[in-house]
């Protein structure tokens, strides 16, 4: 496999800004040594011919490139400092690396499962609001990234050499039993939310629960409120029955913005065929994830871009390419080390098998700066048409947002 520096023809207008540079380290916040945004692991370029690379660069330059699920924050270099780091409620964004990612629109999932200012359990309302406010304050102090609040924002990002963030949360746990909190989160710029994460909440059951009773009465009310507000609903971490109930209850398409196919890798974190089909039948989209040790297959037991793309092809063959996209679910830092640290939390144990072949990182799709040029290279090399590539890297997602967001 060829290893080179990252390359793409869709670089952004980046002026060198670093998170919170408007504040004074040691006075306004405690400084931590952060992981490298670029070069933490060897750069990797999926091997293609010169002619194919020319096609790839043309797609990067011309089309809207969209990731349906990322965490663009930078972890501490020493992951053992993570709890202490998160306690201060201040996440750094990897702006420099994002500027060479090739991405135009990113579903930015704020780290509210690990918002640990007042509790190590995460998802507390006050911590979430603090987390959102701090991140958005930082975003407002630079010019390359902006929050997408209307459909037009999605299209202007590329034209202006910028990146549009779609504000995303992976669970509704923090709303507790208060529907109006959805309105508040919408006002803060949140445009997509998961119904539930790992453990059950007031809306329904998460994928870690041994019994899934489906969407609650309050959950149905919350789904209707999100439909009215223009919040895209996601069921990536929901239990299977809760996911099916949500898809049936929603008057608008529902997404699975980072998962894979359980038919290829039998863990709860992957989605069974009936959930995938139901999502597509109602107009939704299923985006394939790449978080370490998730989208593995029997054909490719070592997690890499080939196993990841096997999940993509299986899903596209199952429901049609019009309903598939990519949500790699990556970050800047030692993702595997972070999973090990948080193994008792989140959905990590539910997504991995005991006999899993371990990797230090997922080569080719290790972080948000690397993934999409390599995904496009894989698609070009495997004979996908420009039109189909355009669908899975952007237009399928835009279609769902047009149907779910406020007009």
Query: pLDDT tens-digit profile of 250-291?
Result: 999 999 999 999 999 999 999 999 999 999 999 999 999 999
Per-residue pLDDT band at 9 (split at 50, 70, 90): confident
pLDDT of residue 5: 47
pLDDT of 307 > 70? The answer is yes
pLDDT of residue 329: 97
Summarize pLDDT for 54-86 with one digit per residue, the tens: 999 999 999 999 999 999 999 999 999 999 999
- Cα–Cα distance, 41 to 363 (Å, whole number): 9
86: part of which helix (H) or strand (E)? helix 82-87
Per-residue pLDDT band at 351 (split at 50, 70, 90): low
- Cα–Cα distance, 292 to 289 (Å, whole number): 9
Residues 6+ apart with CB under 8 A from 186: 229, 230, 231
Q: Which domains does the chain have, with CATH numbers?
A: 50-404 (3.20.20.140)
pLDDT of 349 > 60? The answer is no
- Cα–Cα distance, 248 to 246 (Å, whole number): 5
| Exposure class string for 178-195: b at 16+ Cβ within 10 A, else e | eeebbeebbebbbbbbbb
The whole-number average pLDDT for the span 89-95 is 96
The whole-number average pLDDT for the span 362-367 is 95
Per-residue pLDDT band at 122 (split at 50, 70, 90): confident
pLDDT of residue 320: 98
Share of the chain above pLDDT 70, in %: 96
- Cα–Cα distance, 6 to 36 (Å, whole number): 14
- Cα–Cα distance, 187 to 181 (Å, whole number): 10
Where does 229-378 show beta strands of DSSP type E? 232-234, 256-259, 286-288, 324-326
Average pLDDT over all residues of the chain = 94
70: part of which helix (H) or strand (E)? strand 66-70
Summarize pLDDT for 25-55 with one digit per residue, the tens: 999 999 999 999 999 999 999 999 999 999 9
């Amino acid at each position: 496999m060829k290893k080179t520096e990252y390359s793409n023809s869709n670089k952004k207008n980046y002026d060198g800004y670093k998170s919170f540079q408007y504040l004074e380290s040691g006075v306004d916040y405690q400084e931590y040594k952060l992981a490298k945004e670029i070069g933490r692991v060897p750069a990797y370029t999926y091997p293609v011919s010169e002619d194919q690379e020319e096609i790839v660069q043309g797609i990067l330059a011309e089309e809207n490139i969209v990731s349906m699920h990322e965490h663009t924050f930078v972890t501490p270099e020493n992951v053992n400092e993570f709890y202490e780091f998160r306690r201060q409620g201040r996440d750094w964004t990897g702006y420099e690396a994002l500027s060479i990612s090739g991405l135009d629109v990113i579903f930015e999932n704020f780290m509210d499962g690990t918002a640990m200012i007042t509790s190590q359990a995460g998802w507390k309302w006050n911590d979430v609001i603090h987390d959102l406010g701090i991140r958005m304050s930082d975003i407002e102090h630079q010019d390359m990234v902006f929050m997408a609040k209307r459909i037009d924002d999605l299209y202007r990002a590329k034209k202006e050499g910028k990146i549009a963030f779609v504000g995303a949360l992976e669970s509704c746990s923090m709303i507790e039993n208060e529907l109006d909190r959805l309105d508040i989160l919408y006002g803060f710029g949140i445009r997509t939310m998961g119904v539930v994460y790992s453990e059950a909440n007031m809306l329904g059951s998460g994928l870690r629960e041994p019994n899934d009773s489906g969407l609650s009465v309050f959950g149905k009310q919350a789904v209707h409120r999100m439909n009215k507000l223009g919040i895209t609903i996601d069921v990536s971490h929901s239990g299977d029955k809760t996911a099916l109930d949500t898809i049936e209850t929603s008057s608008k398409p529902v997404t699975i913005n980072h998962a894979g196919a359980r038919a290829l890798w039998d863990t709860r974190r992957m989605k069974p065929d009936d959930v995938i089909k139901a999502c597509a039948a109602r107009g939704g989209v299923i985006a394939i994830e790449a978080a370490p040790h998730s989208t593995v297959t029997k054909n490719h037991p070592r997690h890499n871009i080939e196993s990841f793309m096997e999940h993509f092809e299986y899903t596209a063959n199952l429901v049609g390419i019009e309903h598939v996209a990519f949500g790699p679910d990556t970050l800047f830092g030692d993702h595997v080390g972070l999973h090990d640290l948080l193994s008792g939390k989140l959905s990590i144990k539910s997504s991995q098998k005991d006999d899993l072949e371990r990797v230090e990182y997922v080569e080719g799709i290790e972080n948000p700066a690397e993934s999409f040029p390599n995904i496009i290279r894989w698609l070009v090399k495997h004979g996908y048409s420009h039109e189909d590539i355009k669908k899975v890297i952007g237009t399928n997602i835009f279609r769902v947002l047009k149907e779910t967001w406020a007009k």
